[in-house]
A and B are shown apart, each in its own frame.
Chain A
Amino acid sequence: MINKSIKSESYMEGKNLIWKRSKRWNQIKRNWELYLFLLPTLLYFIIFHYVPMYGVQIAFRDYSPGFGILTSPWVGLEHFIRFFESYQFWSLIYNTFSLSALQLLITFPLPIIVAIMLNQLMFKKYKKFVQTVIYAPHFISVVVLVGMVYVFFSGNGIINNFLNLLGMEEVRFLTEPSWFKPLYLGSSVWQETGWAAIIYLAALAAVNPELHEAAIVDGASKFQRILHVDVPAIMPIAMILLVLSVGNIMNIGFEKAYLLQTPLNQTSSEIIPTYVYKVGLQQAQYSFAAAIGLFNAVINLVLLWYVNRVAKRLSGTGLW
């Protein structure tokens, strides 16, 4: 009832004053419910995304919980300089960047290859089965995944059992710094390759079959058709995903690195997100940690913007 009366009122008003009011204002009034629809989400983004962006100014202040954000003393770039000059700076940058870059190098091409291979598989039932199995690890939680790494690679896990069987010495996978990256990347490949192939499979399914038929008539082999029909078909989506992942290269996740971290492998497993967590929340150095986080976020944004520009110039596809 209330709905109706407001609607008819606004309708009448709109009709009477249509020459006065802009069309836009009418549109807003007519769709007032849609603004209510959006309101909770808008509030969510303001409170949990934009307020923290405002709060990031504690990176330039000496924040302590007793003071508010605005009343904490301004210290300018002090925290940033302290970070740049700390002995961990270069090792953090190196660990974060190299882990992320390697992840990209390995996990970007693999799903494309898997998708192309699956697309060439002629037995439909087998293809379905393979897909069901290789998507499954995506749904395993990171805790369970790392738990699996622990039980397989620990001193008495099956990998070391197997090495023993071959007469080799036990390898300390979980504490040896040089093994952190292989474990991290290997488990990523195991977990995500199949899932990441879905999007390429969709692009391949959308290829016009006539293209393939024409190529067959011209005597093209399967391999040639992959190179000249399939690969060009997935290039645009591959490009977008590449831009996104290069742009996010400093945004490597906290979750897995933190779980795979042991006191002994920290020289290679300490990356910026885990460091921010420890310094910020475990040692309560809020401002210092916020400064490191901000430094990381800004590098990331600049990278994304730049990579997007390059991609646009080279291939015409970009994010915006």
Chain B
Amino acid sequence: MNLSKINRTKEDKIFDVINITLLTLMLLAILYPLYFIVIASISNPDRIFAGDVWLYPIEVTFEGYARIFQDGKIWIGYKNTIIYTAVGTAINIALTLTAAYALSRKDFFGRNFFMFMFVFTMFFSGGLIPTYLVVQNLGMVNTMWAMIIPKAVAIWNIIVARTFFQSTIPDEMLEAAKVDGCSNTKFFTKIVLPLSKPVIAVMVLFYAVGHWNSYFDALVYLNDEALYPLQLILRNILIQNEAAATMVSDVESVAAQQRVADLIKYGVIIVGSLPLLIVYPFIQKYFVQGVMIGGIKG
């Protein structure tokens, strides 16, 4: 590979300069909006409105955060989302791993039929209304189960886990275990699962992020505000502009109210994404692994 360094022609050097410049511009284009949200959330709202805040916070204030934390709705949303994410992910993992393991076994009669049956749902579905009617008939509308059971397992993750099992658990291992009188269940819990920690980590992350970020199911199935997940509360504040009204009722002029409401929005974006932003750098590599395992077979 040293070859490429020795033979760098002028043309290649120009290429490298352009390449690095473009990538750096892209980096800034992605980073700046995020950075701006952070500095705007702790700046004086009047200075933001005046267009003074560009590169660093001005007249640092934590008023926005104080108002957010005084409002109970965000905490209810947080609590609900944590419950949905924890219970939902646990169910997701249990179903995905068991199903994917069964489908990864070559001696599992019917695997192609079941696989086709599951994959077909990626390409055709009954649609929103018939699915809603099923959930309704099961009595799940306006319960926490509507947030969990209709998304109990995702076919894409079954494919990822199945590919992983097929490529990392050698057939000989199973044969050897069978000779020793090991049952399928025992083999799965004692040998397959311990060997599958990386893929389990990937699954947990994919599912957990999915639960954390979803708002559609809540929008469709929930109308009791006490059950709202964080994302729906965020939507009401950020987009419907409604919840913020209660948080700024003590501010006198309407114009000032609007500015404080904007400040709250910046803060809410941070508060809503914080858990993920904190853990993201540490878990990034697992996500990438997951995409790659899935990509092999796609």
Contact = CB atoms under 8 A, between A and B. Distances in A.
Interface in B211-252: 212-216, 220, 231-232, 234-235, 237-239
Contact of B238 (A136, A150, A213, A217): A150
B298 A38 contact: no
A237 B131 CA distance: 32
A74 interface: no
B248 to A, nearest CB: 15
A43 B49 CA distance: 55
B215 A255 contact: yes
Nearest to A213: B3
A139 to B, nearest CB: 5
Contact of A114 (B26, B33, B95, B234): B26
Interface string A246-288: 0100000011000100000000000001001100110000100
A8 B118 CA distance: 33
B231 A141 contact: yes
Secondary structure at the A interface, as helix, strand, loop or mixed, is helix
B179 interface: no
A197 to B, nearest CB: 10
Given A55-B134, A217-B3, A286-B133, A48 B150 contact: yes
B288 interface: yes
B51 A136 contact: no
Secondary structure at the B interface, as helix, strand, loop or mixed, is helix
A248 B242 CA distance: 35
A136 B280 contact: yes
Interface in B112-171: 114, 117-118, 121, 123-135, 138, 149-150, 152-153, 158
B130 A141 contact: no
B131 A48 contact: yes
Interface of B: 1, 3-4, 7, 9, 11-12, 15-16, 19-20, 22-23, 26-27, 29-31, 33-34, 36-37, 40, 48-49, 51, 94-96, 98-99, 101-103, 105, 107-109, 114, 117-118, 121, 123-135, 138, 149-150, 152-153, 158, 183-185, 188, 209, 212-216, 220, 231-232, 234-235, 237-239, 258-259, 262, 265-266, 268-269, 272-273, 276-277, 280-281, 284, 287-288, 291-292, 295, 298
5 closest A-B pairs by beta carbon, nearest first, are A52-B126, A293-B127, A147-B238, A141-B213, A55-B130
Interface of A: 3-4, 7, 24, 27-28, 30-31, 33-35, 37-38, 40-42, 44-45, 47-56, 58, 69, 114, 117-118, 120-122, 129-130, 132-137, 139-144, 146-148, 150-152, 156, 158, 161-162, 164-165, 190, 194-195, 198-199, 202-203, 209, 212-213, 216-217, 221-223, 237, 240-241, 247, 254-255, 259, 273, 276-277, 280-281, 286, 289-290, 293-294, 296-297, 300-301, 304
